[in-house]
Chains A and B, each alone.
Chain A
Amino acid sequence: MSTLAVKSQPVYQELEWDRSGTHHILFVAAEDAALAHRLLANPPPGSMTLIRLNDSANPDSAWAKQLAASARYLEAHALPETLDLLREALYASRMGTRLYLAGPEDAIWQASQLADSFGMTRDEVRQMQLGTTARPVFCVHCRTITRGVHTNIVPCSGCGRALFVRDHFSRRLGAYMGFQIDAESPGDIPAAEVIYP
C-alpha cells in the first residue's frame, strides 16, 4: 500500500463487527464473497439487517446466501433506492445500532451522510471500500458532483469545464475536489487517463 499523497483521503480498515452494538445494519453496494463469508459466518450478538444494492441482478450474491435466516434482508436495484431503504432502517433504529458500509466510495459516503443526519457518530459507523474505485468529484467552480469518475481529468456534469481530480477528499460532501485544469492556459487539456478503475 503506497503512502497517501493527501491526508484527507480516507484510509479504510478491514470490516469487523462492533460487538458492543445491539443492532447491526450492514449496507453493501458491491460483492466480496470472502468478506461476506468471514463476517456472516461469525455474526455478533443482537439483531441484524442487511441492505444490499443489487445492481447486477445477480441472485447468487454471497451476502444474501450467507445471511442467517433470522436476519432481515432488503435490496434495491439502484443506489438511490438502496439509500432510501437505509434511511427507513435508520429511522426505525434505536440506541445501540451500529452501521457497516461496504462498497464503492460514492455509495459508502452517501450512506455516511445519511448516518450523520440521524446523529450517528464516527465511531458507530464503519466503512470499507469494495468494488470500483471510481470517484465522486465536486466541481469547486459550480459545486456540482460528477459521479463515477474513472479518469484523472473529467468534464464537469454541471458546467462542462475540464476538471482535474485531486486526492483531496471531503467527508461532508462525500467527494474529491475537481478544479479547471486549463485555467492558467485555456485549451491546454492533456488526454485523460483511467486511474480509478
Chain B
Amino acid sequence: MSIAFKQETFRDDYTYSNSPEAIRRFPFPFHQDEYMYSVNMEPHTPGAVGSVFEHPFDIDEHYIAECRDRAITLERDPGRCASLPHMMDAEWDTLELIMESLSNSYPELFTLQKDGTRWTWINRPLDLRQSFTFGDAATLPCPPFEYITRQTQGDFVIMDQRENNLFADAGMITAQADWSLAFDIGMSFMEWHGPVPLAHELGVFERALKYLLMLQQGRPVRRLNWTMTINPRLDTAPETYPEWGQDRACVTPENVGEKVHLRVELQTLFRLPRSNGMLFSIRCYLASMNDLATYPRWPARLHRVLKTLPNELIEYKGITRYRETVTEWLARRDNGAELAPGTQPE
C-alpha cells in the first residue's frame, strides 16, 4: 500500500482536505443518537485493513503536512514539547515503541536497523536518515521523545506511574483540543482532567484510572473522544486562543459545510517496558460537515447528538456560539428515520 501524501496547510489559507478514502475511514464516534461520557476503552487490537485501527499508530495522507504544522508550532512555542527530568527512560521507551511499530506497519515508508545499541532510522516520506546509539541522547539531534514525535501524527503524553496514580510528566502537544501542556505538566490523572464537566460525577475518571493502572505491556487499549473545530486547524491550544477564538464567531448558514469540522481523537494507551510509564497517543482526525454529508447516516446522527448534548458539554467543547447554526444545517440532512446502532458510514 502506498499513500499519496497531500500538500496542504492547517492554518492561514487552510488548504487541508480529505480524499474520498480518508472520509470513508474517518473514525465517526457516535454509535447512537445520544452522547455521554463513559469508560469506552477497548483493546487496541488490529482492525480492518485500511481502517484507522489497522496499525498501532495510524499514518495517513496528511502525514507530511501534519509534521510540518507541528514544526511550525514548535518553532513559535518550543514549550509545546516538554519532559520532566525523570522521564528519560520513558522517552527511550517511546522512541523504541514508535520506531518498531512504524517500521513493522509501513515497511515501504520507515526502516529501523539495529546492530546492538547502534540503530539506524530511515524515514522516507520526510527524507530523514539517522544513525544513533540507543540510550545516548547526545547521538540524536534533539531528545528522543521530541525526535520521534516530530515524525509521528498525533499528540503524545507520557504518564509516569507512581503512588498508585498517573502523572502527565512529558508531552508533545501541538494539536490539542484546548488544553495547555505548559500548565498541566506534572499533574496527576484527576488534576489533569479536572476541568472536564459531568464525567467526574459519573465516576468515569476514577474507573478509567483504575483500569489504566493495570494496563499490561503489549496489550494497548483505545477509545475515541471528540469535539468540534472551526477551520481544519490542529493548533487549537489555549496559548493561541487569541488567534483562533474569533473563528467561532464567524460561522454562517452559508459556510457551515466547509468551516465546521468534527474533530475526533483516537486515543491509544501503551504500557512502556523499562520505565513502567504509559504512552498516551491522541491522534486527531478532522472532517468538515460537507465531508460527513458524503454518507447520510453521519449528519443525521450528529444532528441528534448535538440536539441532545447537555449544555455543560456544549460549553466545555466551545460549541455554544455556533451550535444553532450547525444544528439547523444538520437538521436539513436528517429525515428522522431510525438509525441502526453503529458508527459505520453506510
Interface residues of A (CB under 8 A from B): 6-9, 122, 138, 140-141, 143, 161, 166-173, 177, 179-180, 183-186
Contact = CB atoms under 8 A, between A and B. Distances in A.
Contacts of B245: 180, 183-184
Contact of A141 (B185, B190, B242, B321): B242
A172 B185 CA distance: 8
B242 A8 contact: no
B192 A8 contact: yes
A167 B200 CA distance: 15
Contact of A8 (B163, B194, B246): B194
B180 A185 contact: no
Interface on chain A toward B: helix, strand, loop, or mixed SS? loop
Contacts of A8: 187, 190-192, 194-195
Nearest to B79: A143
Interface in B30-86: 79
A180 B246 CA distance: 12
A25 B180 CA distance: 34
Nearest to B197: A5
Contacts of B248: 184
Contacts of B184: 170
A77 to B, nearest CB: 32
B241 interface: yes
A186 B194 contact: no
A161 B183 CA distance: 18
B182 A143 contact: yes
Of A141, A143, A184, most B-chain CB atoms within 10 Å: A184
A183 B194 contact: no
Contacts of A7: 190-191, 193-194, 200, 205
A166 B195 contact: yes
B187 A179 contact: no
